[in-house]
Amino acid sequence: ILTTSHAAPAPDLLLKMLPGAAPDASFCMTLQPGEVYALANPAQTCTLTVFVQQSVGQQVLAAAGIGHPDRFFATLRSVGLQFQALALPDHFAYAADSFSGSQFDQVERILITEKDAVKCRQIEALRQDPRIWVLPVDAQLPSAFLSALLARLQAVQQTSVKQTEALGNTSVASSTEST
3-class DSSP assignment, residue 3: strand
The stretch 144-169 carries a mean pLDDT of 80
**Run of H or E including 147:** helix 143-178
3-class DSSP assignment, residue 113: strand
In terms of residues, how long is the chain? 179
pLDDT, mean over the chain: 83
The stretch 47-54 carries a mean pLDDT of 97
Question: What stretches of the chain adopt beta strand conformation (E)?
Answer: 2-5, 12-17, 26-33, 36-38, 45-46, 60-64, 84-87, 109-113, 132-135, 137-140
AA identity, residue 56: V
Contacts 24+ apart (CB under 8 A), 144-150: 144/27, 145/15, 145/27, 145/29, 148/17, 148/21, 148/25, 148/27, 149/1, 149/2, 149/17
Higher-pLDDT residue of 176 and 164 is 164
Q: Percent of the chain having pLDDT more than 70?
A: 80
The stretch 57-77 carries a mean pLDDT of 94
Higher-pLDDT residue of 173 and 92 is 92
The stretch 34-50 carries a mean pLDDT of 97
pLDDT band at 34 (very low <50, low <70, confident <90, very high): very high
DSSP secondary structure letters along 22-44: -TT-EEEEEEEE--EEESS-TT-
Q: Which of 57-61, 65-69, 130-134 has the lowest mean pLDDT?
A: 65-69
Pairing of strands 36-38, 26-33: unpaired
3-class DSSP assignment, residue 79: coil
Pairing of strands 60-64, 109-113: parallel
Q: Which of 59-68, 90-99, 119-128, 137-146 has the lowest mean pLDDT?
A: 137-146
Residues 6 or more apart whose CB falls under 8 angstroms from that of 119 comprise 65, 92, 93, 94
| Residue 141, CA distances (Å) to 21, 111, 162 in order | 18, 25, 31
3 pLDDT exceeds 90? no
